[in-house]
Structure 1
Amino acid sequence: MEEKRYKTIQKIGEIPTGFGRVSLNKKKEKICGDYYTVITDQDSTVLVLSDGLGSGVKANILATLTAQMLSIMIARNMDIQTAVKAVADTLPICSVRNLAYATFTVLVAKGDEICLLQYDNPDAVLLRNGKNVEYQREILIFGEKEIHQSYLRFQTGDMLILMSDGVTNAGMGKTTYGGWGREEVVKFCEQRYRKGMSAQEMSSIIANAGQDLNLDETDDDLTVLTLTGMQKNVVNIMVGPPADREDDRSYFETFFQKEGMRLVCGGTTAKLVADYLKEKVIGIADSGTKEVPAMSKIKGIDLVTEGLLTLQKVIDYYEEFKEDRLCYNRIIKKKDGAAELFRVLFAEATEINFFFGNALNENYTALHIEREKKKKLALQLIDALEAEGKKVKICFWCV
């Protein structure tokens, strides 16, 4: 088996899968004591979340070794229980705190069936139609260690939430007596759930609530991983017309033959698209900001934005999000063109057809802005989308 190690998940079986994650370091620590890894191939996905005892470098080493050993053994077709037993047997118990040196949650997906093996992490939460589903747990005993084994069918619309105990212990001794607790976390997730919400939105909401209970601190490493079964949602985005105007008709024909949403970036591109459709470009009043130009609308197009400055702001939003995943919910609530693009591409899309034209824009030439800038931004955006698990296809590239 050829292993592909990612930090994200694209699908489970034939179900497009959104994957949201937040990991927060314990206060004053430079590295997180929780660690997760994902290995995928064409037929299966192996995800392991591990929580090392304590915090900082030592905890991170313990968690990393545990997660990587488990994921590699299972990905190489070792029997799941054998792999879990091998790792569980090698993990000693701290004699002082009577706790395992590392805990873990293992998720193995083959087709639409998920096997969960959970050792001392809070049990995963499964929401179906926004309501908690109590799934069966078989208890396996390996030495002194009790492991919960479960089998689930993953469905479109399901939301599966994995977490470290930094979530369930949130607020302990501050705002809660014994921590937030799994039952209260479940109730919170049910209350905050809404149809169509992204996996990242749920992860960020849970992590934010944990911080609030800790009075804006992180008293322990805290990790939330959320998987959602999504409906297929194809998005076609056009950035610029072709360099050769003779290619315009075939370029637009190909764009409009594709199924799914249609986004157009760039004023010149919008005018050419409107001409092709025999429609008008209509400006949307009060949709601009100091940083992001106003949006427009064209009948038959789902979203029309300005080009270069808007794309740059989308990249800026992504860099901000990559550094602090808690800011995701703040970004998607903004109403400017860049935030709208960010929301559609990063939250809603499952597949993206990227139409890039490298025509020279005379307005940018006058401002000494090279067309290579637009090309660079397009490449950065494609890289960012792929890093977040989006399936991206470049349908047209004219250089």
Structure 2
Amino acid sequence: MDFLGDWLLLIIGVAVVGLLGVAGLVSGRTRARRRGREGTAAPGATDTVAPPEADTDTVRPPEPAVSPETGEGPGAAAPTLERPEGTASRLVRLRQRLSRSQGGLGRGLLALLSRDRLDEDTWEDIEDTLLTADIGVAPTQELVERLRTRLRVEGNEGTTPREVLREELVALVDPTMDRRLSISGADGKPGVVLVVGVNGAGKTTTVGKIARILVAEDRRALLGAADTFRAAAVEQLATWGERVGVPVVRGPEGSDPASVAFEAVRRGVDESMDVVLVDTAGRLQNKAGLMDELGKVKRVIEKQAPVTEVLLVLDATTGQNGMVQARVFSEVVDVSGIVLTKLDGSAKGGIVVAVQRELGVPVKLVGLGEGPDDLAPFDAGAFVDALLG
């Protein structure tokens, strides 16, 4: 009997568990149908999910920024060209930056000349100060003798040591030199400016900055990238030209520099340009072959139009080493003007006097920083005023 009772209890338990499972299943399906009805927008909708509206959820691929056929984007406007600074604002910056970098020389000289007693030791200190500034031996001796005469023999005669020093420094820098750029050609041909110098002096950058000066003066300019041995130089010059809308003539890397220069000047003549600026490869003064090649570039150019200006770019921070470069270049091409770069980074502003004496040609432009308009016409009075602070 006990055996039958156990079986009866087991059967009843299985039946109860089964009924509970069926009830749970039915309840779950009911809840699912209820949720489906609540999420349906309209009665009678099926379980199929409708695709999202195209104008809200569909992500369209972006239109190409630049068309491969035209090189322009949809509705793209022409790039805005930069408007370079004029000469007046450049001269203001010239005075400001020179006074910061070169003021030590003037202050040192004024301190010595303002002593109560100008004895021989003082004059030796003055001479050492000038030599340290890279003015050169001959100009230094000349300046010291002039100062001795005016301050020691003639007396001050109502003038201060600062006034005397300024007058003598201006005379030493020589304000009578013609510092204008020769950028006008004859017979309807463009002026041709050949820019030369060793690598690292800032030659290619100088060409780009001169182009900006010409654009500011409303002159039509063209650049010739004849430094064909450095692809970076060609690209750099192209970038300078693009920023102000100046065309650049270039050739394949490693091509003949003379042929590129020739083509640039030919195009300048054909398109009635005002000025053609030709950048050349940086030449080392101990490479006779390369220097001969520079002479060839000049000769080839002049088959199209005369070279009106040869600018030698020198790094002011190199000091007397720049004098060696200047001498060699002047033997190969007739240098007509000097561009001193990085003058704001050198405390040896006397290089202005030294290089002018060495070549007999004026410093026409000075570089005063890394900005695109940090190239200014050289002004003797502004330079000396900056020295004296």
Q: TM-score, structure 2 length as denominator?
A: 0.27
- Higher RCO (C-alpha under 8 Å, 6+ residues apart): 2
Q: Could you say which structure has the larger radius of gyration?
A: 2
